[in-house]
């Protein structure tokens, strides 16, 4: 407390000087942050800085098998418990699903057949992905769709147009010729170019008609569908193919056959199947396939991704030196 006017004036002057100094310092900090010579923040690609400098063909991700078929895991028709948006929020960057035409002729997300489970139109599914990508500008998503009714690829393109998703799609610079495995750009380059959706169709793709929808088996091979196969790292599709020059997808799902047309997840074993390590785990399957093919799989598909340790398994697959 001041005892006289002179003391109070001195104190007031000191406080004013302090405020002016603080304002000047704040302005300097703001200018430094805006300066082109300021120390840049390290960019993130799919929430990982190291991934930015990794070629697309050299990175590995866990993916959601039948991502569109969501519900209670006691329902034998479903393969995931969390919505597509929740899958992406959790860090999934590879989505796989089946398509069929419903009774009205709409291309839809149907499990085996639309009478069994219809999860809505392909357009709505793509719109969900588009909305998520709009909100996550540093994310790159890969999508693999099954063309169960052998629909012309232009019908898929129509759904992409209506969902306003096409502008995110990556087109190989060599299209329609194959982009060789060693020539893929890095994630950072693809994200920087805004081509952050990599789209594959299992059957019926025609890059002369739709250059951004690539034929799966031109670029990948797949292992057998279920992990109970005795040779679970062999090339199952395409038949009579070699691994040379192809990326690959491991189907890490343990299934039981209900009918000839209906195979469902063995959900009682899901915690062990989706574990990072141990017998029958993601890690064990990846290790076995690495020994067979001398490289790590690019994608590993799982059911009920939220049960188990998929994220540590994914981290173990990526050492960013491959």
What positions carry a catalytic annotation?
Answer: 65, 111
The pair of structure tokens assigned to 218 is 């031109």
Phi–psi pair at 121, nearest 5 degrees: -75, 155
d(CA 78, CA 30): 52
Alpha helices (H) in 181-242, listed in sequence order: 187-193, 216-219
Omega before 238 cis (within 30°)? yes
d(CA 80, CA 17): 62
d(CA 286, CA 282): 6
Is there a contact between 139 and 169 (Cβ–Cβ < 8 Å)? no
Strand partners, 100: 108
Handedness of CA 71, 130, 159, 142 (dihedral sign): negative
The pair of structure tokens assigned to 277 is 């390590």
User: Which residue is it, tokens 């169709």?
Assistant: 201
């Amino acid at each position: 407390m001041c005892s006289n006017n002179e003391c109070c004036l001195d104190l007031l002057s000191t406080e004013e000087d302090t405020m002016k100094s603080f304002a000047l310092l704040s302005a300097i900090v703001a200018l430094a942050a805006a300066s082109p010579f300021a120390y840049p923040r390290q960019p993130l690609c799919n929430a990982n800085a190291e991934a930015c400098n990794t070629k697309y063909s050299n990175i590995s991700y866990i993916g959601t098998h039948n991502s569109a078929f969501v519900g209670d895991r006691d329902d034998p028709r479903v393969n995931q418990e969390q919505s597509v948006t929740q899958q992406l929020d959790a860090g999934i960057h590879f989505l796989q699903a089946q398509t069929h035409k419903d009774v009205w002729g709409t291309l839809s997300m149907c499990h085996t057949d639309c009478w069994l489970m219809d999860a809505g139109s392909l357009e709505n599914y793509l719109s969900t992905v588009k909305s998520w990508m709009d909100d996550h500008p540093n994310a790159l998503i890969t999508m693999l769709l099954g063309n169960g009714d052998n629909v012309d690829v232009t019908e898929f393109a129509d759904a992409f147009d209506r969902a306003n998703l096409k502008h995110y799609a990556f087109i190989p610079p060599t299209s329609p010729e194959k982009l060789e495995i060693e020539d893929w750009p890095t994630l950072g380059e693809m994200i920087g170019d805004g081509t952050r959706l990599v789209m594959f169709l299992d059957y019926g793709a025609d890059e002369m008609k739709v250059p951004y929808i690539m034929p799966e088996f031109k670029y990948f091979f797949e292992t057998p569908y279920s992990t109970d196969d005795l040779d679970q790292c062999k090339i199952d599709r395409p038949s009579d193919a070699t691994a040379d020059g192809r990326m690959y997808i491991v189907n890490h799902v343990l299934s039981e056959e209900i009918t000839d047309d209906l195979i469902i997840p063995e959900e009682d074993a899901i915690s062990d199947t989706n574990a990072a390590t141990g017998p029958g785990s993601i890690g064990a399957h990846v290790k076995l396939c690495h020994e067979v093919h001398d490289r790590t799989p690019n994608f590993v598909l799982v059911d009920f991704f939220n049960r188990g340790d998929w994220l540590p398994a994914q981290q173990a697959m990526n050492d960013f030196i491959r």
